[in-house]
């Protein structure tokens, strides 16, 4: 076809209209205008813009999966955005699974907000975890968490054939403290006991928890019963010499303590039962005492 100035002008108008439609019209034909079929490169330009348009419209409606086949700066930029959104999706899934180390660094102001949210979530989860593990009155491990750790120590001892000890501690005459001085004074007595435990030179691997009203327990990993007895005696003595202060009132408390040592085949219950028996022996023999469980050969005598 011979192109006259008029003809060229017409083709140009059709091309401009087509390109404008690709950018602004609600719907566009999938093929370029017939009149431009023979114009070099126009079909390629049309299909590139159509693909970019389809991808952007998909993004606008939340669909990131449009497969972009065209190359070049503009399709590439959209592909980079697509990759970022895919990665963001993956990061969000990781955060949902508890990985709070994820940080976004490619989405401008959104990244800052997102990262702040993750930091807050992390803190909240840590607080929730702490609350789930802690006795609200004394701040020590609660029964559930203590028993979980006790179980883990038992498993460890079985696996490595190591030794550890369990200490049961019960405040003496605690009911009298509550009855005579009030429950707030009783609460202060329990808090004082925890302070004594914290300042009785327990090792970092040792742990204790409140397992009942006025009952506490301690686990001492890698410790034989003689060592555990010495630790228990130190706690007993510290407690005996520590004054409980409550609203101007001052009084002293004591505890009876029983100790058991891990043996083959032990369960949490069997170790607790033996420590409990030893603790009752301490009560029976006058309170404010430490009693060790008898050696295995003397059991049943």
Partner 1 sequence: MTNDRKYKFSWELLGDIKSGRPNLGNTTRVEVYRLLQFAFRDVIEQHVGTEETDKIFYEAGALAGKEFYTHMLTPTADLNEFVSQLQKVLKDLGIGILRVEKADMEKGEIVLTVSEDLDCSGLPELDYEICSYDEGFISALLECFSGMKFIVKEVDCWCPGARPCRFSAISVA
Chain contacts with partner 1 (rule: CB under 8 A): 71-73, 76-77, 79-80, 83-84, 86-87, 89-90, 94, 97, 99, 101
From its phi and psi, is residue 98 left (phi > 0), alpha (psi between -120 and 50) or beta? Answer: left
DSSP H or E segment with residue 194 = helix 183-198
290 Cα distance to chain centroid: 38
The nearest distance, CB 189 to partner 1, in angstroms, is 45
Helix 225-240 with 183-198: angle, nearest 10 deg = 130
The nearest distance, CB 22 to partner 1, in angstroms, is 22
Query: Which residues are part of the catalytic machinery?
Result: 214
Please answer whether residues 253 and 241 qualify as being in contact, where contact means their C-beta atoms are separated by less than 8 angstroms.
Answer: no
Instruction: Say how far apart CA 239 and CA 208 lie, in whole Å.
Output: 15
The nearest distance, CB 68 to partner 1, in angstroms, is 8
Contacts of 33 (CB under 8 A, 6+ apart): 14, 15, 18
Beta-bridge partner residues of 164 = 221
The nearest distance, CB 291 to partner 1, in angstroms, is 45
Beta-bridge partner residues of 244 = 251
The residue among 99 and 179 lying less far from partner 1, judged by its C-beta, is: 99
The nearest distance, CB 80 to partner 1, in angstroms, is 4
Sign of the C-alpha dihedral computed for residues 192, 198, 202 and 205 taken in this order = positive
Helix 143-160 with 108-133: angle, nearest 10 deg = 90
């Amino acid at each position: 076809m011979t192109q006259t100035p008029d003809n060229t002008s017409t083709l140009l108008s059709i091309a401009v209209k087509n390109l404008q439609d690709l950018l602004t019209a609600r719907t566009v034909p999938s093929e370029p205008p017939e009149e431009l079929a023979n114009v070099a490169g126009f079909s390629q330009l049309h299909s590139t813009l159509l693909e970019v348009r389809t991808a952007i419209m998909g993004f606008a409606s939340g669909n990131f999966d449009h497969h972009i086949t065209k190359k070049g700066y503009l399709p590439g930029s959209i592909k980079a955005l697509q990759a970022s959104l895919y990665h963001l999706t993956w990061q969000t899934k990781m955060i949902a699974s508890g990985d709070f180390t994820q940080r976004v660094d490619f989405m401008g102001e959104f990244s800052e907000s997102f990262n702040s949210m993750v930091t807050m979530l992390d803190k909240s989860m840590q607080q929730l975890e702490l609350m789930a593990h802690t006795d609200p009155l004394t701040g020590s491990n609660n029964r559930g968490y203590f028993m979980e750790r006790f179980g883990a120590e038992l498993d460890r001892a079985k696996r490595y054939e190591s030794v550890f000890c369990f200490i049961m501690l019960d405040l003496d005459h605690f009911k009298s403290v509550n009855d005579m001085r009030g429950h707030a004074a009783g609460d202060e007595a329990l808090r004082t006991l925890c302070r004594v435990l914290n300042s009785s030179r327990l090792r970092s691997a040792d742990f204790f928890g409140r397992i009942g009203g006025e009952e506490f327990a301690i686990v001492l990993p890698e410790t034989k019963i003689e060592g555990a007895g010495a630790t228990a005696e130190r706690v007993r003595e510290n407690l005996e010499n520590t004054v409980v202060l409550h609203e101007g009132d001052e009084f002293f408390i004591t505890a009876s303590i029983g100790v058991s040592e891990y043996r083959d085949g032990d369960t949490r219950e069997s170790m607790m039962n033996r420590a409990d028996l030893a603790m009752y022996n301490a009560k029976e023999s006058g309170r404010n005492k430490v009693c060790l469980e008898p050696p295995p050969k003397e059991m049943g005598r």
